[in-house]
Structure 1
Amino acid sequence: GGLGEILTDQSVDKKQLIDDVRKALYAAKICSYAQGMNLIRAKSAEKGWDLVLGELARIWKGGCIIRAIFLDRIKQAYDRNPNLANLLVDPEFAKEIIDRQSAWRRVVCLAVNSGISIPGMSASLAYFDTYRRES
């Protein structure tokens, strides 16, 4: 097209890439929930709603397509620490995201170097890096 050719000369190990993408998707999912919970927390504080984030996860589990196990883990994180500043600093979620961070970065770099847009995954990585630098 008029905007240049797709960059396809990248050599990749497909098995490694599949594993990396799985890890990257999970890390991005954690960040997405962390962002969402923080937005809810901020609006709750602004409006004086006094929402209990762990209870929201429990309620959503009852009527939502979100995987119940993941919502259970979010509820457990807020049960462990009701004042949790961000899911990213919960020890269990922090370990999972740190363990997947290299794969996540490889996927984003490969996509960028290949001219492939992955806005959700790259934005989540940027959020993680911003939060990590500020913490």
Structure 2
Amino acid sequence: GGLGEILTNESVDKKQLIDDVRKALYAAKICSYAQGMNLIRAKSAEKGWDLVLGELARIWKGGCIIRAIFLDRIKQAYDRNPNLANLLVDPEFAKEIIDRQSAWRRVVCLAVNSGISIPGMSASLAYFDTYRRES
């Protein structure tokens, strides 16, 4: 294209990259759900709906397009703490994010340095960093 080539001299260990991408995707998924649940919590508070987020996760699992097994873990997090401020501070989810954080950052950095757009993964990382700094 007319915008020039992006050149990177980074050598890549494909096995490590595959593992990093797997970890980064999972961390980004946790963040995406955390952000979504926070949006729902905020709108519920604003409108006085009194939504129970753990119950919402259970309902979605039972009859919604989302139906992910991951929703069981979200329900368990809200069962452990119904007033959970964010999934990112649930002990289990926090550990998973922390364990995958380095891989997530390596993937985003490699993509940026290679001129590859990964808006979902990089936006989730930005959300995580913003939340981490504010907490």
Q: TM-score range by the shorter chain?
A: over 0.9
Aligned residues: 135
**Cα distance between partner residues in 2 of 1:134 and 1:43:** 21
Cα-to-partner distance string for 1:82-127 (whole Å, 9 max, x where unaligned): 0000000000000000000000000000000000000000000000
Task: Give the stretch that moved more between structures: 56-65 or 82-91.
Answer: 56-65
CA RMSD of aligned residues (A): 1.1
**Cα distance between partner residues in 2 of 1:104 and 1:125:** 8
**Residue 111 (structure 1) aligned with residue 84 (structure 2):** no
**Structure 1 equivalent of residue 126 of structure 2:** 126
**Residue 94 (structure 1) aligned with residue 94 (structure 2):** yes
User: Runs of at least 4 residues of structure 1 off by over 6 A?
Assistant: none
Q: State percent identity of aligned pairs.
A: 99
Cα-to-partner distance string for 1:15-64 (whole Å, 9 max, x where unaligned): 00000000000000000000000000000001110000000000000123
TM-score normalised by the chain length of structure 1:
0.96
**Residue 14 (structure 1) aligned with residue 10 (structure 2):** no
**Cα distance between partner residues in 2 of 1:100 and 1:67:** 24
Cα-to-partner distance string for 1:58-91 (whole Å, 9 max, x where unaligned): 0000123435421000000000000000000000
C-alpha deviation, 1:2, in angstroms? 1.2
TM-score normalised by the chain length of structure 2:
0.96
**Structure 2 equivalent of residue 43 of structure 1:** 43
Q: Which secondary structure does the structure 2 equivalent of 1:68 belong to? A: coil
Unmatched 5+ stretches in structure 1: none
**Cα distance between partner residues in 2 of 1:2 and 1:68:** 42
